[in-house]
Chains A and B, each alone.
Chain A
Amino acid sequence: MSALLQIQNVSKTFDLPGGQALTAVDDVTFAVEKGSICVLLGPSGSGKSTILRMIAGLETQSSGAVLLNDTPIDGPGRERGMVFQAYSSFDWMSVGKNVEFGMKINGVPAAERRARAERFIGLVGLSKFIDAYPSRLSGGMRQRVAIARTLANAPDVLLMDEPFGALDAETRWQMQELMIEVAEASGTTMIIVTHDIEEAIFLADKIVFLSSHPGRLKEEILPTFKPGRLRNKEDVIALPGYAEMERKIMRMMREEGHK
């Protein structure tokens, strides 16, 4: 049985004004197992967001193949839900209606919709705000809404593009711990793009490290020093093996920076 998601020899070239071409992603191959958390890590210019957008179907690859359940993806679809760095709340709907939106357009009956929305809003800790408008919420809370909205729509894979990049430090690690909880509770497969090394090691079952200009797969890193998923970040940082892995990845980042 092959992996849930397969990225096979994927390249992406952008045409620049003036007739030049920019290779953002160059011959990248990796696979994501069902139920796992895969983190795409790399310096800026490593094409990690571009890879995520190709998986989402928001960009098309110049060559290679992206397969979900052995089927080539064709455009965006509900089975690949995405959470963006910038706020994406539908401001004219309450938190509850935001979370119901995906299910509503996919024909889930109202009662079931409401129940699922309540479950996922509870999971991200926003039950008190189910009838509030998103404009009343803080940045971290809005990202929780976006996560609940995507999860409630039951995607095969949750794609996140630097989802906590705009948040302050404290909210950020709370959200990281929330993602571990959510992954455990829902069993959702996740692909998370970040350039934060701590975040990558804490969240990942597998880190796909990309080099920059052009984006190439440099190394697949497995944080095997972790005994499964831990909910507290400080517990992960205290593990033997954490410091060594962080140091190794920092070196890789630095090498990329000096290129």
Chain B
Amino acid sequence: MSTASKGRKARLLQVRVPVSGRQALISALGVWIAFFGVWILASGLGWVNPILVPPPGKVFATIVRLFAEQGFGADVLISIGRVLIAFALASLVAVPLGVAMGAFPAINAVFAPFVSAWRYLPAPSFIPILLMWFGTGETPKLALLFLGVIFFLVTLIADHTREIRKELIETALTLGANRRVTVFQVMLPAVLPNILVAMRQMLAVVWTYLVIAEIVASTTGIGAMMMRARRFLKTDEILAGIIVIGALGMACDMAFALLHRRLFPYLEDKR
């Protein structure tokens, strides 16, 4: 309790008064302990059908068993591979196209009406036609992930490029920069941190489409494992799959956060 608040009544809820590190830690732990507590009680005391809701201990044991004995690692690697390949392809198209649209209104005039129309089409609606076009191999899965993010990624990157401060561009021009120098040596480095932020956001979306693709039309990958488990009422394996997907998503997010700090050390001082 700080001295400034002495003499005032200590209150739990105060508008926009920051909490201490200790309070933050206790709160964070508390909510998770409560979550697992309710889960353990519910399954242990028979409030719920233990076949439908297995206790957390069993789910974590299942995760270990899946990796150790049932070759789940291969499924995980396949899923990660799909995400990375599709996301790399989408980025390869979206970064140059988005920057070009943001830099050149003439290019934006061509692609913006096209891209923004596609954004309103839910990617999963393409699954039946993708299956007919590409069969059951990897291609339809990659295509779904690609379609799921490409239009959003292009739009985000184009917006960020358009938001580059006018003074930066005009400074470059009055220093004698031509078009190529302005785009590649000023606009691109200026927008790069925001491109990485956009990629971080969209990578989370790729994971969503991955699960849809693997549940609907796959015999391999994390989602396929979960659908197999459903057939044999192995709810512990389904929940294990969910937890693994969550952990992988979080790992990706943290990797991007780390990359951002490494690549753009000059942004550190700003905060």
Contacts and interface: CB of A to CB of B under 8 A. Distances in A.
- A and B interact: yes
A209 B165 CA distance: 30
Contact of B270 (A90, A101, A135): A135
Contact of B174 (A58, A87, A90, A133): A58
A136 interface: yes
Given A58-B170, A77-B174, A78-B175, A105 B190 contact: no
Contacts of A81: 174-175
B165 A92 contact: no
A150 interface: yes
Contact of B175 (A87, A91, A101, A134): A101
A126 B124 CA distance: 57
B138 interface: no
A144 interface: no
Contact of B269 (A86, A133, A146, A149): A133
A106 interface: yes
Contacts of A87: 167
B175 A102 contact: yes
A91, A146, A153: most-surrounded residue (chain B CB, <10 A): A91
Contacts of A149: 171, 175
B167 A84 contact: yes
A88 interface: yes
B264 interface: yes
Contacts of A58: 170, 173-174
Contacts of A56: 170, 174
Contact of B173 (A76, A86, A153): A76
A81 B173 CA distance: 9
B168 interface: yes
Contacts of B171: 82, 84, 88, 146, 149
Nearest to B174: A82
Contacts of A206: none
A105 B170 contact: no
Interface string B144-174: 0000000000000000000001011011111
A135 B267 CA distance: 7
6 contacts: A78-B176, A90-B186, A91-B190, A92-B192, A135-B269, A149-B175
Interface of A: 56-58, 75-78, 80-82, 84, 86-88, 90-92, 101-102, 105-106, 133-136, 146, 149-150, 153, 159
